[in-house]
Every structure is written in C-alpha cells, then in structure tokens.
Amino acid sequence: MAEPPKPEKVELCVFCRRHAAEPAWRPFCSERCRLQDLARWADESYRVPAEAADQAEKVTDPDG
C-alpha cells in the first residue's frame, strides 16, 4: 500500500520548454531565454502603444 515517491516536479523553462528552470533565472532556464522572452514582449508592447500614442497626439485637430 505504500505510495510510490512522487517524482520531483521539474519546472521547465517557460520560453524554450526544454530545459529545467534555473533558480537564478526562474522561470527560465538561462539568462538567454529570459532576455529573449523579455525582448519578445518588449517588441510587441513597444510598438502598439508607441504608434497609438503618436497617432493620438496627431489626431487632435487645432482647428477643431
């Protein structure tokens, strides 16, 4: 009736999903994956607001 020991849960890198996450870079496996993930997000989140803000300013018509 003894339950088998639970295998240690390995937290996989959220970016590459291939390597175990390192405590120093959680939830990533390495600085490389962390930077790549951040860069990806930054690239996506930078564009939209930047363009929207730029257009929003130009939309305001001084002549009303």
Binding site for Zn ion (CB under 5 A): 13, 15-16, 19, 29, 33
We find the least distance from the C-beta atom of residue 4 to Zn ion, in angstroms, to be: 29
User: Taking a C-beta distance cutoff of 8 angstroms, is the pair 15, 34 a contact?
Assistant: yes
**For Zn ion, which is the closer residue by CB, 16 or 35?**
16
Q: Please, what is the minimum distance in Å from the beta carbon of residue 10 to Zn ion?
A: 13
Please answer whether residues 15 and 28 qualify as being in contact, where contact means their C-beta atoms are separated by less than 8 angstroms: yes
Q: Shortest approach of Zn ion to residue 17 CB, angstroms?
A: 7
Tokens of 3: 């339950």
Determine the Cα–Cα distance for residues 17 and 31; give it in Å rounded to an integer.
14
